Amino acid sequence: MTDYNAMTDEDFRAEVRRFVESEYPAHLRNPPHRLHWQEGEEWFRIVQKKGWVAPGWPQELGGMGLDASKQIILIEEYERYGVARLPDHGVIMLGPLLIRFGTEAQRARFLPRILAGEDIWCQGYSEPGAGSDLASLRTEAVLEGDHYVVNGQKIWTTLATDANWIFCLVRTDKSGKKQEGISFLLIDMKSPGVTVRPIINLGLHDEFCEVFFDNVQVPRENLVGEPNKGWSMAKALLGFERIFLGSPRQSAYALSRLRMLAERMGVYDEPEFQERYTKLRCDLEDHKALYETFVAVLRRGEPLGADVSMLKLHQSDLFQRITELMLEIGGENAGLLKPMEGNRDLHPSGQFIEARPTTIYGGSSEIQRGILAKAVLELPG
Amino acid sequence: MSAMLEDERDDAIRMIRDSAAGIAPRGGDRKRIRALRFQSPGFDPAVWRQMGEQGWIGLRVPEEQGGAGLGMGAFCALAEELGAALAPEPLVHGALSARLLAEAGATGPLERLVAGEALVLTAWQERAGSFDVPGTPEAPRLFLPMADGAQSFLVPLRQGEGFSLILQPAEGADLTLEPTQDGGSFGTLRPRGGETVGTLSAAQMEAALEEAALGTAALLLGVMDQAFAMTLDYLRTRQQFGKPIGSFQALQHRAADLKVQIALGRASVESAAMLCDRADAPAAQRRAAIARAKARAADAALLVTRQAIQLHGGIGYTDEADIGLYLRRAMVLANQFGTAALHRRRFAAAQPEVEA
Ligand SMILES: Cc1cc2nc3c(=O)[nH]c(=O)nc-3n(C[C@H](O)[C@H](O)[C@H](O)COP(=O)(O)OP(=O)(O)OC[C@H]3O[C@@H](n4cnc5c(N)ncnc54)[C@H](O)[C@@H]3O)c2cc1C
């Protein structure tokens, strides 16, 4: 087994670069939307063969055992090359959760199936009435003998149509504080009573879904951790999500496309454009520097603090501002539904729309600001 | 303007808003708009005819030429209502052609256009984000909205200091279409053939395009105004943390900031329209006012519709929610008849700073 952590950062980076450049399918570079499983499975199989499905998991569980900084290098190199994100909730969210809070039996049952691409997971947290106020969720799981009976509805579940399993936050106790009656439950989506309805998003793509539960029977052993402790377990995973969503990748990609568009539109050399473009470049470089400080925390093996919210907040804002400038300089082309001249790199309207939800999902920007104000700045209220 | 004329102007504006509400109600359901999206020709020819019957297409055309002879104040009020209703019928573009045909004295085609029996699109644009009319004979003409619903194209050709206007039938035209984000389309026309229907000076052409720019600003004003109204409703009704989200101060402040932008947009559009309606206003002053209005409307409409999505949360990022239709329309309108940056440059050129 290769000890990647023993490699220098440069060597590891070169290794990742070699891998993607020689093996990543060209037609999947920088796809205009999240790939469905079937669209990207070809790449998954290549990664699987290489043994790189789960960069962050320990090697004895089939992962690469990468430390945080090596994981970041991997992500950076993937992004630099335009490697598509596959349905990865199993690898990124559920795996780490089971490794930390699951039982031996749960790990043995679920982890290998994730690595084999047999189980595709989606994340069932949000509900129609519980978005920013997630703790008010109402999908209910009632214990009857050796199984839970689940009733309720999830919404905005990304790629639920591709998934055969969903990990859910469900209500198991209505008596006390709302955060204290929530459990973490794994549900086989082929169970009778589960219905998925795709929702067409603003990009006109069927990326997220509604998931309905009508008297769905879930074996008791599918509960992760203690009953009513789901909230704190889910929260423990948020730090990693926020650093992932705060990575400079989206902005870096968008900025490179902004440049291409400016060149195509003949404004690249104009002083007005240069002034604004340079500001965005500086913003991106500063963002990378900020990002590095959080990576350094992980590298030292320390937990991320609430201040990681800054990363996601600034990244999503920067990404949006870049695409807003695209819209301005694209002229009437910015109103086109499809890429200009059939060139995927020149798609101001598509990029602009894709940047919209980044300030909504994963904790909206308003919620992140609230966290900063209260948990970091310790302002009253 | 005398007090009596001002009253008359206000009456005309009020009446036009009322009649707009009959055909394209602001708060109406968006079923019609959705049904027409991404279909050919992207608008309803029967509604176009109704707009003709109402006298809207020839609103600015003098009465003796079969128009309504009304001012820009009325036209902008109408455009605002149609923007708020998301009406896909290309009124501003049709009105541009009507004005050019009227000034060139092309009575026949003008009659059919203002009656709503035909759609004539002016094929002036040769470059994205531009506002000048090169009039190059062979050059492809870009960004013709709803071009597959047009019966003919009005192609300006450079002739000395001015233009000759060629009317080219749509039938047999070399036209390609690309869908737009709002469910309409942009056509590219490679002009050929057609008959000369008159001539125009460069100044006439520019003044007509300026009116179209102001009309587009008014459409954008309607788009942002309605998107904001819908967002306020949502802030009042959507509950999180046990209260309406509109009770959170962060969102109250955001809404207040958007309101300021809309108010600025309205003041800018209406004052520019007022200047257009004053016979004695100098051309440079009018040009500066229109440029300012179009720049403000484009920026503000994109800001308001972007924030409208944000304030709707997840539902705002769906195609099902009507709020997204407003963002898409703003994306398509914002850069038509000159981008915000271009109009700010025009403003600076037309209204030099006065030394204090
Ligand atoms: C593309 C996309 C993918 C997603 N994928 C998933 C997924 O896979 N699984 C999943 O479980 N969820 C997913 N979500 C859901 C996402 O987490 C929620 O949309 C998000 O939590 C916001 O909730 P909401 O949509 O109900 O908006 P609301 O909470 O109703 O928010 C509406 C507006 O009010 C603001 N607001 C709310 N509360 C406050 C406050 N206290 N102070 C100030 N402002 C406030 C919000 O910021 C927002 O602007 C996804 C969402 C999107 C857009």
Residue B30's alpha-carbon distances to B155, B237, B307, in angstroms, are 34, 20, 20
Closest CA to B145 of B168, B167, B191, B177: B177
Mutate to test the pocket of ligand 1, among B234, B238, B245, B312 (most ligand atoms within 8 A of CB): B245
Peptide bond preceding B244 in cis form (omega within 30 of 0)? no
**Mean pLDDT along residues A171-183:** 96
**Mean pLDDT along residues A74-97:** 91
Could you tell me whether strands B174-179 and B185-190 are parallel, antiparallel, or unpaired per DSSP bridges?
antiparallel
Question: What residue ranges of chain A are covered by domains with CATH 1.20.140.10?
Answer: 238-376
Token duo for residue A242 = 């926020």
Name which residue sits closest to atom 17 of ligand 1, judged by CA.
A361
Instruction: Compute the half-sphere exposure of residue A284: CA atoms within 13 Å on the CB side of its CA.
Output: 20
Which of A202, A320, A366 minimises the CB distance to B317?
A: A202
Find out whether A127 and A137 touch, Cβ atoms under 8 Å: yes
**Mean pLDDT along residues A343-360:** 96
Could you tell me whether strands A194-199 and B174-179 are parallel, antiparallel, or unpaired per DSSP bridges?
unpaired
Closest CA to B348 of B288, B297, B268, B296: B288
Instruction: Name A18's Cβ contacts closer than 8 Å, sequence gap at least 6.
Output: none
Name which residue sits closest to atom 16 of ligand 1, judged by CA.
A361
> Sign of dihedral through CA atoms A232, A238, A240, A243?
negative
> What would the DSSP string read from start to end of A224-268?
ESSTT-HHHHHHHTHHHHHHHHTSTHHHHHHHHHHHHHHHHHT-T
Could you tell me whether strands B152-159 and B120-122 are parallel, antiparallel, or unpaired per DSSP bridges?
parallel
The 3-state DSSP class for residue A347 equals coil
| Predicted TM-score (pTM) of this structure | 0.97
A28-42, A182-196, B298-312: least confidently modelled range: A28-42
Q: What is the pLDDT of residue A68?
A: 78
Q: For B239, which residue in chain A has the nearest alpha carbon?
A: A129
| Domain ranges for chain B | 204-350
Q: For A267, which residue in chain B has the nearest alpha carbon?
A: B129
Find out whether A325 and A259 touch, Cβ atoms under 8 Å: no
Find out whether A169 and A137 touch, Cβ atoms under 8 Å: yes
Q: How far is the CA of B314 from the centre of ligand 1 (A)?
A: 5
Q: Is B181 on the interface with A (CB under 8 A)?
A: yes
Find out whether B252 and B231 touch, Cβ atoms under 8 Å: no
Q: What is the pLDDT along chain B (356 residues), one digit of tens a residue?
A: 678 888 888 999 999 999 999 999 988 779 999 999 999 999 999 999 999 999 999 999 999 999 999 999 999 999 999 999 999 999 999 999 999 999 999 999 999 999 999 999 999 999 999 999 999 999 999 999 999 999 999 999 999 999 999 999 999 999 999 999 999 999 999 999 999 999 999 999 999 999 999 999 999 999 999 999 999 999 999 999 999 999 999 999 999 999 999 999 999 999 999 999 998 999 999 999 999 999 999 999 999 999 999 999 999 999 999 999 999 999 999 999 999 999 999 999 998 777 65
Question: What residue ranges of chain A are covered by domains with CATH 2.40.110.10?
Answer: 121-230
B4, containing H or E segment: helix B3-23
**Mean pLDDT along residues A365-377:** 97
Q: What is the pLDDT of residue B73?
A: 97
Q: What is the pLDDT of residue B356?
A: 57
Name which residue sits closest to atom 11 of ligand 1, judged by CA.
A125
User: Residues of chain A with pLDDT > 90: what percent?
Assistant: 87
User: Residues of chain A with pLDDT > 70: what percent?
Assistant: 100
Q: What is the pLDDT of residue A295?
A: 85
Find out whether B331 and B298 touch, Cβ atoms under 8 Å: no
Q: How far is the CA of B337 from the centre of ligand 1 (A)?
A: 36
Find out whether B320 and B306 touch, Cβ atoms under 8 Å: no
How is residue B131 annotated by DSSP? -
Chain A residues close to B322, C-beta within 8 Å: none
Residue B171's alpha-carbon distances to A342, A360, B184, in angstroms, are 27, 47, 20
Q: Chain B: give the shortest CA distance to residue A350, in Å.
A: 9
Q: What atom in ligand 1 is closest to the CA of residue A126?
A: 11
Which of B178, B314, B332 minimises the CB distance to A131?
A: B314
CATH of segment(s) A121-230: 2.40.110.10
Q: How far is the CA of B6 from the centre of ligand 1 (A)?
A: 49
CATH 1.20.140.10 corresponds to the domain A238-376:
yes
pLDDT in tens, A220-272: 999 999 999 999 999 887 767 778 889 898 999 999 999 999 999 999 999 99
- Beta partners for B294? none
Token duo for residue A279 = 């500001």
> Sign of dihedral through CA atoms A171, A172, A174, A178?
negative
Q: What is the pLDDT of residue A2?
A: 87
Which of A272, A331, A359 minimises the CB distance to B128?
A: A331
Tell me the longest C-alpha to C-alpha distance in chain A: 72
Chain A residues close to B333, C-beta within 8 Å: 335
Please answer yes or no on whether B241 and A327 come within 8 Å at the CB atom: no
- The per-residue pLDDT of chain A, averaged, comes to 95
Residue A214's alpha-carbon distances to A140, A154, A193, A210, A295, in angstroms, are 10, 12, 5, 13, 43
Find out whether B43 and B184 touch, Cβ atoms under 8 Å: yes
Class of domain B204-350: mainly alpha
Return the CA Rg of chain B. Answer: 20
- Beta partners for B187? B144, B177
Q: What atom in ligand 1 is closest to the CA of residue A132?
A: 29
Find out whether A154 and A139 touch, Cβ atoms under 8 Å: yes
Closest CA to A277 of A326, A312, A313, A314: A326
ipTM computed for the complex = 0.96
Q: Where in the sequence numbering do the catalytic residues of A fall?
A: 241
Q: What is the pLDDT of residue B355?
A: 62
Find out whether A213 and A153 touch, Cβ atoms under 8 Å: yes
Which of B309, B320, B334 minimises the CB distance to A356?
A: B309
Residues 128-167 of A with CB under 8 A from B: 129, 131-133, 136, 155-156
